[in-house]
Amino acid sequence: MAIHSTAIIDPKAEIAADAEIGPYCVVGSDVKIGARTHLMAHVFLEGKLSIGEDNVFFPYCSCGVAPQDLKYKGEASETLIGNGNKIREFVTIHRGTAGGGMVTAIGDDNLLMAYVHVAHDVIIGSHTILANGVTFAGHVTVDDYANVGGLSAVHQFVRIGAHSMVGSRSVIKQNVLPFSITATQHESAIYGANRVGLQRHGFAQEEIEPLQNAFRILGHANLNTTQAIARIEEEIPQTSAVRELMAFIRGSERGFIK
């Protein structure tokens, strides 16, 4: 185990033998750090925090600290971080609360760029990219392979669908449909299927085109949601991705951006 002489490690912390902890890091008593995870320098970890394998924490990030929710009363909530994540400079990740399931969780192979804020009870899947300055309020869910553009702000209880792309500087107050390109810089809008992202992740053209046509109906056919769903189910091939899109819409209690 490589621990720099200036690091402050609570003796109760559980640290894998091949983890690496750089200068001036602080690791609290309830922290667990998995194999080959690297804290570069000036990283602050506290609370009930479990970190998996092969993660890299860049300087000046803090994880597992108490949430900014004024309802938080010191309950023993936790933070879970999976494997292979890159947590860049000045990222802040807060632990959960009693009002949100007691856990903030991040999956595997995510990139959190500088100054990303992950508030209490946020659940982030795997393979996401969160660009510089993305800010999540509490209770947000981010599904696998989502890509959120820089300086975007996401309202509490919003869900960002799988394989979606959110344009930079967006203010997201409702759910973002899976497989979509969505942005709110000027007016809220779906700009169609996230073609490039879907192609990169192995979706065939025969799967992408029905999604593109479904988004045209949702966003540009002057139909309400019920009418749009009926038309999509009547006219569009019901691929697995289209069925997933329809299930997402039906489960969106907050509504969705269209």
**Catalytic residue annotation:** 120-121, 138
- Residue 57 region by backbone torsions, left for phi larger than 0, else alpha for psi between -120 and 50, else beta: beta
Q: Which two tokens stand for residue 54?
A: 């092969």
Q: How far apart are CA 197 and CA 201, in angstroms?
A: 6
Q: How far apart are CA 70 and CA 98, in angstroms?
A: 12
The 3-state DSSP class for residue 218 equals helix
Q: How far apart are CA 121 and CA 56, in angstroms?
A: 22
Cβ count within 10 A of residue 2? 11
Cα separation of the two ends of the chain: 51
**Distances 250 to 123, 143, 226, 255, 258 between C-alpha atoms, Å:** 20, 16, 9, 9, 14
| Of the candidates 117, 196, 186, 193, the residue with the CA atom closest to the CA atom of residue 150 | 117
Q: Which two tokens stand for residue 3?
A: 């621990």
